[in-house]
Amino acid sequence: MRFGTPLALGALGALALTSCASTIEFTPAGSGLKLEGRSGDCTVEFFRSKKPEQAYDELGALHAEGKAGMSGPARPKELMELMRRKACSLGADAVIVTRDYVPSGSGSSSTMTGTAIKYRAGEAAAPSEAPAAPKPETAPAPKSEAKPEPPPPPDDGVLTL
């Protein structure tokens, strides 16, 4: 039996597209939180340059990896989408990106890592500790001739306030 060229090329193209695999791994944090997952189309916030202002608990680490396919390595949006779907399944509200999109040197894969978090209801985040301002240098106080203090009164067992 002879296959037509369009059919063979179509099958080859489908095989090539399915060989571009992306994976997501989850490592639970020590918080022990077990949450009900949310629907796969839920909204998840991504924090790249700052942490959330609301108090939160860490659910665990996410590590997304995209292998190269016909169109090259996975793109940042593809890896974020993997992380978003996994965060939804965990019941997370947000992801703090700890290592942004990084393509491998060979171009064969790309990775992104982050921490899935759940906001605490009604709690604001603890203020971040700013480094203490340096104290200005001060000159020592001038020495003056101090008068001797009078001796303390005798201890008669009475405390006067």
The string of pLDDT tens digits covering residues 37-85 is 898 889 999 999 999 999 999 999 999 998 877 666 678 889 999 999 9
CATH class of segment(s) 20-124? alpha beta
Contact by Cβ (8 Å): 90, 139: no
pTM: 0.61
Rounded Cα distance between 74 and 66, Å, is 5
Question: What are the residue ranges spanned by the domains of the chain?
Answer: 20-124
